[in-house]
Amino acid sequence: MQRSLPKESGWDFTMDSYDVMHKMEYPAEDKIEEYDAIYTESAGAADADVDWIHKLIEFTAHLAKNHPKVKIFAICFGHQVISLALGGTCVRNDGKWEIGPTKIQLTNVGKNIFGTENELIIQEMHQDHCPFLPQGFHLLASTDICVNQGMVSTIGAKYHFTPTPESRVSSPPSPSSESSSFPLTDIHIMTFQGHAEFTRSIVSIMAAKRSKQGMITDNLKQDVDRRNEALPNDK
């Protein structure tokens, strides 16, 4: 990540890591405010009934409620954890995989944040999705397979810290009603279902592995390779 920063940005980058899976370790309460942002991502299933994921979801809700000055950035698994922690849900997408470079259709909020119109291309690797938008969030983008491709909240947003079955299914994404007028500096939480950090080679290797394991079809694997090969050299 440090190497990815533009040289002219003037920013330095330091990351502290915590083993939340095996050791279930987290930043000390008095250290949390020292961080500008907290990032989470994993190959795990966010809805799995295991202790370390339950604790991660609880910590995420605590972080959003009690440390609103700390920004949260989440990818794929992290996107799903945010949803579960703050009133949404995460479920299997009826056996549908979304893999490889995928065009996502931006909402007005997404267009404002990314400074572009209509769509972006992002690498995907998931079969779970978050079909509903938790209270306090704006939708960033959608695809035909996955309506919630990312979401964003602003400082002061009202979240569901004690989700109910009703709250988890009461707020489907509605991009047509969203405003894009908030300053980007007001962003509190930003999540993506796709993987901006994945390269085409990473995705091709993962698709080949899943094909050999019988998790996806050979046809899907070949389609992923075809779409990766069609990308410009800078993707």
208 band by pLDDT with thresholds 50, 70 and 90: very high
Burial class of residue 7 in the structure, from the number of CB atoms within 10 Å of its CB (0-12 exposed, 13-18 middle, 19+ buried): exposed
Beta-carbon contacts of residue 5 (< 8 Å; ≥ 6 apart): 11, 13
Q: What is the pLDDT of residues 146-189, one digit of tens each?
A: 999 999 999 999 888 765 555 555 555 554 445 567 888 999 99
| Residue 138 and residue 47 share a domain | yes
Closest CA to 16 of 42, 34, 3, 29: 34
| Residue 12 and residue 55 share a domain | yes
Residue 2 is assigned to a structural domain of this protein = no
| Residue 157 and residue 64 share a domain | yes
| Residue 86 and residue 110 share a domain | yes
Mean pLDDT across 35-41: 84
> In what helix (H) or strand (E) does residue 75 lie, and over which residues does it extend?
strand 71-75
Q: Please give the pLDDT value at position 204.
A: 94
Tokens for 99, please give them. 């893999």
Q: Which domain holds residue 79?
A: 7-198
Q: Please give the pLDDT value at position 87.
A: 87
Q: What is the pLDDT of residues 56-90, one digit of tens each?
A: 999 999 999 999 999 999 999 999 999 999 988 89
| Residue 214 and residue 120 share a domain | no
Q: Please give the pLDDT value at position 2.
A: 61
Confirm whether pTM is higher than 0.85.
yes
| Residue 102 and residue 38 share a domain | yes
DSSP structure string for 96-119:
--EEEEEEEEE-HHHHHHHT-SSE
State how far the Cα of 132 lies from the Cα of 121, in Å rounded to an integer.
Answer: 22
